[in-house]
Chain A
Amino acid sequence: MPRIRVEVDGSSYEDDVEPRLLLVHYLRDRLGKVGTPVGCDTTNCGACTVLMDGLSVKSCSVLAVQADGREVTTVEGLRAGHPMQRAFHEEHALQCGYCTPGMIMASIDLLRENADPSEDEIRDGLEGNLCRCTGYQNIVRAVRRAATEMRRPASEEVTS
């Protein structure tokens, strides 16, 4: 069995894994990071989205061996009260919450590339994340709100 070394949410892990083990199952079943759910078999739903070396990936479609030597951030790795988490709460951007961890990670990835996305750009950026409850309206609002908040310190620095 190949041995992998990964950094997940700031801690290092070294484990022997079967090559066929999916990254999402490694995170959930081996590391106990059950914040990342699985929603489909087809790489479509995005519920399992995490960041790998800073870029969003669907962790059901990456093998654990492929994460060897890389850095993974799951929704559990966000600091408590992260602006994106707060915005999802305040804008009522979830109902059952199944899609939420993936939505939050994909939204953070989106803001990394585009700090002030329009409504259309948010819908485009979250194209790979499906929500069966909310109808997306409040998700888009939450991302707009988080974007405003996350830009704030930088713009204050510029003006002061």
Chain B
Amino acid sequence: MIPASFDYVRPESVDEALEALTDAGEDAKIIAGGQSLMPLLRMRLAMPDTLIDLDRLDSLRDVRDDGDAIVIGALATHHRVLRDPLVRAHAPLLVRATAKVADPAVRHRGTFGGALAHADPASDLPAVAVALDAELLARSARGERRIPAADFFVDWMTSALEPDELLTGIRVPKPGEGWGVHYEKFHRTAQAWAIVGVACAVRRDDGRVGDARVALTNMGPVPVRCRAVEEALAGGAAIRDAAELAAEGTEPPSDLDGSAEYRTHLAAVLTARALAAAAAV
């Protein structure tokens, strides 16, 4: 199918983009890599009046060192993220998860910022942003604000961005020494979305897992931080016992890929696998 008609704007700078967003109002849609939006336009599930194309905003593609964090431009493609030396050095969890996103052609176009702004609960990267305590940098004509990843995902396909706000970057804190990471994605066919995914980072302390950060993909309308697992590990629980708590407080969906009960079971099994893999580093 072909998309419904729309006006097309291609700003050359962030300020121009913000102006276009303010002018166009609620019926405008931003397009970054288009890898989530194009199928929606083609199926006419999205019919914006105006499409604002960020393609020329090259200043938002870079990754930079910001002292105790790295800042990844919202328009950095998945392809770029996988190869960037700063990301590889300071955010290996993001690299592992991004390698499991879609396929090479989609990764050439799709952007980190787009994957977060889309706020699809089955997407792999929101859980990673939550596990890494990332902050999302949002800008509008009214100013700039930092949104903690834990507050960014509001509901199914709904982010905390206001209609006139642009996601400009993602600030990922550098981990200290001794952290191991893993992303465990369970899916049945190549290129498919996660039925359940587990993002985790752990620090070994005297041969035990001490600090841990765990977040789940597709166990509810937004990514879920597993505080119960983290606290159990901090209290000295073994990985297997702590992982049993993974689904606590989640509202997993039931769909063609699996029932809520099946996902609850998967969450515990995959969390145990992810923690064991991360702790072995």
Contact = CB atoms under 8 A, between A and B. Distances in A.
26 contacts: A2-B8, A19-B5, A19-B7, A19-B8, A19-B51, A20-B3, A20-B4, A20-B41, A21-B2, A22-B42, A41-B1, A41-B39, A43-B39, A43-B106, A46-B105, A49-B105, A58-B106, A60-B38, A62-B109, A63-B34, A63-B38, A65-B10, A106-B104, A123-B190, A128-B102, A128-B104
A58 B39 CA distance: 11
Query: Per DSSP, are chain A's interface residues mostly helix, strand or loop, or mixed?
Result: mixed
Given A20-B5, A20-B6, A128-B103, A65 B53 contact: yes
Q: Which of B42, B51, B102, B103 has the most CB of A within 10 A?
A: B103
Contacts of B109: 57-58, 61-62
A42 interface: yes
A55 B108 contact: yes
A61 B6 CA distance: 16
Interface in B172-200: 190-191
A100 interface: no
A39 interface: no
B35 interface: yes
Interface string A116-132: 00000001010111000
A60 B105 CA distance: 12
A36 interface: no
A63 B35 CA distance: 11
Interface in B111-154: none
Q: Which of A22, A25, A109, A127 has the most CB of B within 10 A?
A: A127
Contacts of A128: 102-106, 191
Contact of B191 (A55, A60, A110, A127): A127
Nearest to A123: B190
Nearest to B34: A61
8 nearest A-B residue pairs (beta carbon): A128-B103, A19-B8, A61-B38, A127-B103, A56-B105, A55-B108, A20-B3, A127-B190
